[in-house]
């Protein structure tokens, strides 16, 4: 049972990039289960159609899957137009579309580094900007940018993603300052390792999984539902004073890493 009132997002519409899979599908499910309607986007229409059906059945709310590529602004604008046509507004924008893989910096091609920044950082800005122009500027709303903790310390083999998420956090803070007076609340979430996701299967394959768990103070990875709860909180009036902040939800992982070794972790 949810700790949130089940109609806390009644009448709201969410636009979620990366909403057809993993963490952002879980966020969409939580928003819908609490009254919101949703538009989920990513590059693959087939995956979106299956996810939209599953989410609608699970929550008894409405969900539309619209393919777009956050690297192509015109497709983002068209997806927002579809959302506005179908539901009449976009109150919550979640930027979850991302790309990542393990690769030493010395082996990354120029294009590989650029690709990850284009999806995560420029993609986040593009969606924020298009949603601002088309609806948020006149109506207010909430933006949630999905980040990570990779750039708090240093993360070898993920130079590209660490740089990309650092830029995402910078966008979150700057937009919060520029758009706050318009009733647009801009925040982020920095998940730690989340079990059962594409991210973890790529970044902690095989035995690396055990080493990762050993470095997490709470002794386990997070669950998708736990990130979804943070997103839900940030979308409600309970978070009305939280603005320009990226909330870490990682069971203490980024603080704990090296220190956990001293504890024999």
Query: Three-class SS of residue 238?
Result: helix
- How many residues of this chain interact with ligand COA, rule: CB under 6 A? 14
Q: Is 35 in the site for ligand COA (CB under 6 A)?
A: no
Q: Phi/psi of residue 188, each to 5°?
A: -135, 165
Cα–Cα distance for residue pair 97/57, rounded to 1 Å? 23
Q: Which is nearer to ligand COA, 26 or 141 (CB)?
A: 26
Strand ranges in 196-251 using DSSP code E only, listed in sequence order: 246-249
| Crossing angle (nearest 10°) for helices 73-87 and 123-131 | 40
Pairing relationship of beta strands 63-65 and 92-95 according to DSSP bridges: unpaired
Tokens standing for residue 74: 């015109």
Q: Is there binding between residue 112 and ligand COA (CB under 6 A)?
A: yes
> Could you give the strand order of the β-sheet that contains 13-17, starting from the edge strand earlier in sequence?
63-65, 37-41, 13-17, 92-95, 141-146, 184-191, 246-249
User: Residue 97 touches which of ligand COA, ligand NAP, none (CB < 5 to 8 A by kind)?
Assistant: ligand NAP
Residue numbers 185-204 binding ligand COA by CB under 6 A: 198-199, 202
- The partner in contact with residue 193, picked from ligand NAP, ligand COA, none with C-beta cut-offs of 5 to 8 angstroms by kind, is ligand NAP
138: Cα within 13 Å, side-chain hemisphere: 6
Q: 67 to 106, contacts with ligand COA by CB under 6 A?
A: 98-101, 103
In angstroms, what is the minimal distance from the CB of 149 to ligand NAP?
Answer: 7
CB 129, min distance to ligand COA, A? 21
Look at residue 86 and give the partner it binds from ligand NAP, ligand COA, none, a contact being a CB closer than 5 to 8 Å depending on partner kind: none
Write the interaction track for ligand NAP spanning residues 45-74; mark x where CB under 6 A is met and - where it is not.
--x---------------------xxx---
């Amino acid at each position: 049972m949810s700790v949130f009132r089940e109609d806390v997002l009644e009448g709201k519409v969410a636009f979620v990039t990366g909403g057809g899979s993993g963490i952002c599908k879980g966020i969409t499910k939580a928003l819908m289960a609490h009254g919101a309607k949703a538009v989920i986007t990513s590059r693959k229409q087939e995956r979106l159609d299956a996810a939209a059906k599953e989410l609608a059945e699970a929550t008894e709310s409405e969900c539309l899957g619209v393919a777009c590529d956050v690297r192509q602004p015109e497709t983002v604008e068209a997806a927002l137009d579809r959302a506005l046509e179908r539901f009449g507004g976009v109150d919550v924008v979640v930027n979850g579309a991302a790309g990542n893989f393990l690769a030493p910096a010395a082996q990354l091609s120029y294009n590989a580094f650029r690709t990850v920044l284009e999806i995560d950082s420029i993609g986040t800005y593009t969606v924020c900007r298009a949603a601002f122009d088309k609806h948020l500027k006149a109506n207010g709303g909430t933006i949630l940018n999905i980040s990570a903790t990779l750039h708090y310390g240093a993360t070898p083999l993920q130079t590209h993603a660490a740089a990309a998420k650092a830029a995402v956090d910078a966008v979150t803070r700057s937009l919060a300052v520029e758009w706050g007076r318009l009733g647009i609340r801009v925040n982020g979430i920095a998940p730690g390792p989340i079990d059962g996701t594409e991210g973890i299967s790529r970044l902690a394959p095989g035995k690396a999984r055990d080493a990762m768990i050993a470095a997490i103070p709470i002794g386990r990875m997070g669950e998708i539902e736990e990130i979804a709860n943070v997103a839900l909180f940030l979308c409600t009036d309970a978070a009305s004073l939280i603005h320009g902040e990226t909330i870490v939800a990682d069971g203490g992982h980024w603080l704990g890493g090296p220190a956990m070794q001293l504890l024999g972790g």
